Amino acid sequence: MERDFPLLPGQRGYQYAYELAYRLACDELTRLSDIEGQCQRSGAGCYLEGSKRVITLEYLNEPYQINLPDVEVSRPGDSKPVPLRDKLLILHYFIRAKGSPLSHRIITFKELAEGSNYFPAFYKRAIKPIIDSFGRQPRRLLGIARELGGLKSDYGDLAVTINAFSRVPITLVLWPGDNEFPPEGSILFDSSISDYLATEDITVLCQTIASRLIGSLEQIR
């Protein structure tokens, strides 16, 4: 199985955990009896291609597909392998989706299950990198987030909402600060997100979004 980033010695345990989680997710998907119903609950499409069933869905503004029964996650027309973290998030979203409508009740990470316990790591991995990269020039976030389908939202001094999946909006909020106070930021969710992703997956998803935004920023510097 491919590795999507170089590993340091201390990261090998994470890689093994991702690989194990991915195998478990593949097994769980093959055991699902109602694929069409799960497509409806997740907002995915589905069609037959010969002896294969193809599930189609969008992730971070790009089309992806899951081929069954062999559970291959790919980008249509792209021969490059999909990074393991992305494949795992896509499978977890599809398998977990309950079809709940958006509640339009906004929550913070600390309001998720075990969110208070995970928050220090979440802040370090997802929020702080965005503050460090965009806090002094928050308007740059708007333009770069458009690559992920981001749209301006009405929170904080500047906010952008990215539909990570069709039913998982993620809102990044920035306060630029001034001479007395440093920039600050937050990430907000619709309260229905727990019907689509576990708290640990939400952490990985937000870290992935931050990484992609910062990578795009570095390319134009």
Whether residue 141 is found in the same domain as residue 177 = yes
Is residue 186 a contact partner of residue 195, using CB atoms and an 8 Å limit?
A: no
Whether residue 111 is found in the same domain as residue 216 = yes
Single out the residue of 156, 129, 128 nearest to residue 215, CA to CA: 129
Question: H or E stretch including 119?
Answer: helix 115-122
Whether residue 111 is found in the same domain as residue 161 = yes
Report pLDDT for 12. 59
Report pLDDT for 8. 36
Average pLDDT by consecutive 10-residue portion of the chain (221 residues)?
37 77 96 96 95 96 96 94 96 98 97 96 97 92 95 93 98 89 95 98 97 90 65
Q: Does residue 4 lie in a domain region? A: no
* pTM (predicted TM-score): 0.91
Whether residue 134 is found in the same domain as residue 215 = yes
Whether residue 151 is found in the same domain as residue 92 = no
Whether residue 23 is found in the same domain as residue 112 = no
Quote the domain boundaries for residue 91: 9-96
Whether residue 214 is found in the same domain as residue 140 = yes
Report pLDDT for 37. 97
Whether residue 46 is found in the same domain as residue 119 = no
Single out the residue of 65, 115, 69, 112 nearest to residue 91, CA to CA: 65
Q: Does residue 126 lie in a domain region? A: yes
Q: Does residue 32 lie in a domain region? A: yes
Distance from C-alpha of 156 to C-alpha of 94, rounded to nearest angstrom = 31
Choose the final residue of a domain: 78, 96, 114: 96
Choose the final residue of a domain: 46, 67, 96: 96
Q: Does residue 24 lie in a domain region? A: yes
Whether residue 92 is found in the same domain as residue 110 = no
Q: Does residue 2 lie in a domain region? A: no
Residue 116, classified by CB atoms within 10 Å of its CB into exposed (0-12), middle (13-18) or buried (19+), is exposed
Whether residue 92 is found in the same domain as residue 153 = no
Q: Does residue 34 lie in a domain region? A: yes
Q: Does residue 157 lie in a domain region? A: yes
Whether residue 192 is found in the same domain as residue 112 = yes
Choose the final residue of a domain: 56, 78, 96: 96
Q: Does residue 170 lie in a domain region? A: yes
Q: Structure tokens of 32?
A: 């699902």
Whether residue 137 is found in the same domain as residue 197 = yes
Total domain count, the chain: 2
